[in-house]
């Protein structure tokens, strides 16, 4: 059997009962991260515009725009919901940068509304399968070479989740994946430039999944040799350093969910280690921002290119701050925390923080590549001539340093508190409980009223 067909058979055939409990638990953590981020980010810059556009376009009322309310075509609901879920950058991710959950979950929800009657167990299976497929297509830093991984590997995951929920046959699923392959793309320049396409790309990826599945059902075909063909994924994006067989190896026995990262701070995954190092110095050494003369942060070259450049407030302050080690470190030292409110424009423009930003220098060191994707070293020099040195081989929330259960719950409550219109505490607790027991829910649409 060809690798494309093996992949499609896995997507269609694996059942909830087949999934390891640890993989299901991670999917529920993804739900908390994506839905919490959506609740908090629903009114973030650009999101209300996208909601209004989706409603103005009209079309069949198939799926719900969460928080704001209203129904639009399923692919548009997936687009808007995924954009809101990524807006504050608190969703799950993986090295070296794909964000699967905040695209796979909105696509799966929209598909479930479209078809109706999808149980919580079947929904969780689609999320687990979609995440696994997305991460199987994940590549290394050298292969991406500036492509945004979310736009390259996650379309396969959203197409897989949508195909499964919509009940596509294995042959139709091959076509859905092939159509998604034809839409892969996007660029890390969005992060460097602080553009809103960072979050909008998440919406496009979710939309691709729904569109690909719907087109496949109607007989629209794609390049079905997307793994084994000469111009398939391993060649075009994998630079001939990966193979079709390596992508499908271990299907159904070796799940990729353990590679996911859950952020402790509301910023890029590659700022997590340096942020935590600053917080550790504040807590452990009593370091005060006013005493700091200079900070030197050393990171691998890949991290430097994405988040090590000089900080500018720019036209999109939140995005610029989310993707800046200099801002994240200065913020942590001044405020002794890293919260969603610290990435609001007024907080970013705080003169005390900006003065300290100028004292933070970031250096790229190729030797750090061997220590890991998110490693960081920090030296702090104080005005009274003291020097502190602290280092980390991984940021908090990375597989080597997983978050505790209370961290996931705390972050969800923080998201609600930050929301434009926070939900009552009882409803937040009910939503958290519903996610914890999702496999017992007879219809996933029962979750929607809890989301507003």
Please choose, from the candidates 378, 314, 321, 324, the residue with its C-alpha nearest in 3D space to the C-alpha of residue 344.
Answer: 321
Structural domain includes residue 399:
no
Quote the number of domains for the chain.
Answer: 2
- Provide the 3-class DSSP secondary structure of residue 426: helix
Residues 283 and 216 in one domain: no
Q: Which residues neighbour 241 within 8 Å (Cβ) at sequence distance 6 or greater?
A: 140, 142, 143
Residues 101, 422 contacting (CB under 8 angstroms): no
Structural domain includes residue 407:
no
For every residue of 239-256, DSSP letters joined together read: TTSS-HHHHHTTTTTS-S
pLDDT of residue 373: 85
Residues 209 and 314 in one domain: no
User: What CATH number is given to the structural domain containing 250?
Assistant: 1.10.4100.10
Residue 351 corresponds to which tokens in the numbers above?
Answer: 């003169």
Residue 353 corresponds to which tokens in the numbers above?
Answer: 């923080």
Question: How many other CB atoms are found less than 10 A from the CB of residue 349?
Answer: 11
Structural domain includes residue 307:
yes
Residues 197 and 140 in one domain: yes
pLDDT (tens digit, 9 = 90+) per residue, 98-148? Answer: 999 999 999 999 999 999 999 999 999 999 999 999 999 999 999 999 999
Residue 251 corresponds to which tokens in the numbers above?
Answer: 């299907």
- Matching residue, tokens 């109607």: 218
Residues 199 and 99 in one domain: yes
Residues 245 and 285 in one domain: no
pLDDT of residue 144: 97
Residues 97 and 225 in one domain: yes
pLDDT of residue 249: 97
Residues 279 and 228 in one domain: no
Residue range(s) defining the domain that contains residue 35: 3-262+412-451
Residues 76 and 211 in one domain: yes
Strands 360-364 and 292-299: parallel
Residues 278, 332 contacting (CB under 8 angstroms): yes
Residues 36 and 126 in one domain: yes
Residues 294 and 188 in one domain: no
pLDDT of residue 452: 76
Structural domain includes residue 403:
no
pLDDT of residue 45: 93
Structural domain includes residue 402:
no
How far is Cα 310 from Cα 325, in angstroms, rounded to an integer?
9
Residues 258 and 298 in one domain: no
Residues 255 and 377 in one domain: no
Structural domain includes residue 365:
yes
Residues 36, 416 contacting (CB under 8 angstroms): yes
For every residue of 209-273, DSSP letters joined together read: HHHHHHHHHTT----S-TTTSTTSHHHHTTTTSS-HHHHHTTTTTS-SGGGEE--SSSS-GGGHH
pLDDT of residue 451: 87
Q: In what order do the strands lie in the sheet with 360-364?
A: 360-364, 292-299, 376-382, 387-392
On whether the pTM is more than 0.75, the answer is: yes
Structural domain includes residue 397:
no
Question: How many other CB atoms are found less than 10 A from the CB of residue 352?
Answer: 12
Q: Can you list the residues of the chain whose pLDDT is less than 50?
A: none
Helix (H) or strand (E) holding 2: none
User: What CATH number is given to the structural domain containing 276?
Assistant: 3.30.1330.120
pLDDT (tens digit, 9 = 90+) per residue, 385-406? Answer: 999 999 999 999 999 999 999 9
Structural domain includes residue 115:
yes
Give helix then strand counts, H and E, for the chain. Answer: 21, 8
């Amino acid at each position: 059997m060809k690798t494309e067909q093996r992949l499609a058979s896995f997507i269609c055939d694996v059942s909830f009962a087949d999934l390891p409990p640890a993989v299901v638990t991670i999917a529920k953590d993804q739900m908390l991260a994506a839905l919490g981020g959506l609740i908090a980010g629903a009114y973030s810059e650009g999101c209300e515009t996208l909601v209004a556009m989706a409603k103005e376009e009209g079309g069949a009322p198939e799926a719900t725009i969460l928080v704001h309310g209203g129904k639009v075509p399923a692919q548009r609901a997936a687009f808007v919901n995924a954009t809101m879920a990524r807006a504050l950058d608190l969703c799950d991710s993986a090295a070296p940068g794909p964000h699967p959950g905040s695209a796979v979950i909105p696509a799966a929800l929209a598909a479930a509304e479209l078809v109706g009657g999808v149980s919580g167990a079947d929904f969780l299976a689609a999320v687990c399968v979609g995440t696994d497929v997305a991460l199987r297509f994940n590549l290394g830093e050298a292969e991406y070479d500036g492509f945004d991984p979310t736009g390259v590997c996650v379309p396969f995951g959203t197409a897989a989740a949508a195909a499964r929920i919509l009940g596509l046959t294995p042959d139709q699923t091959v076509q859905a994946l092939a159509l998604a392959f034809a839409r892969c793309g996007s660029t890390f320049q969005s992060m460097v430039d602080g553009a809103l396409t960072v979050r909008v790309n998440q919406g496009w990826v979710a939309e691709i999944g729904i569109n690909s599945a719907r087109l496949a059902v109607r007989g629209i075909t794609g390049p079905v040799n997307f793994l084994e063909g000469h111009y398939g994924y391993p060649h075009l994006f994998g630079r001939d350093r990966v193979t079709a067989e390596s992508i499908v190896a271990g299907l159904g026995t070796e799940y990729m969910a353990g590679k996911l990262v859950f952020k402790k701070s509301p910023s890029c995954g590659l700022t997590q280690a340096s942020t935590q190092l600053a917080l550790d110095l504040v807590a452990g050494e009593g370091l005060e921002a006013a005493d700091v003369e200079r900070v030197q942060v050393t990171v691998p070259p890949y991290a430097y290119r994405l988040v090590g450049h000089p900080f500018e407030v720019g036209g999109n302050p939140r995005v610029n701050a989310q993707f800046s080690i200099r801002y994240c470190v200065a913020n942590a030292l001044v405020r002794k925390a890293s919260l969603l409110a610290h990435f609001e424009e007024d907080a970013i423009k705080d003169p005390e923080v900006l003065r300290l930003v100028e004292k933070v220098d970031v250096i790229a060191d190729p030797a750090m590549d061997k220590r890991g994707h998110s490693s960081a070293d920090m030296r702090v020099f104080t005005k009274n001539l003291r020097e502190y040195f602290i280092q980390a081989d991984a940021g908090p929330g990375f597989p080597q340093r997983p978050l505790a259960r209370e961290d996931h719950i705390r972050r969800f409550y923080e998201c609600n508190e930050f929301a434009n219109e926070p939900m009552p505490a009882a409803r937040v607790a009910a939503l958290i409980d519903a996610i914890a027991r999702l496999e017992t829910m007879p219809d996933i649409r029962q979750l929607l009223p809890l989301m507003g």
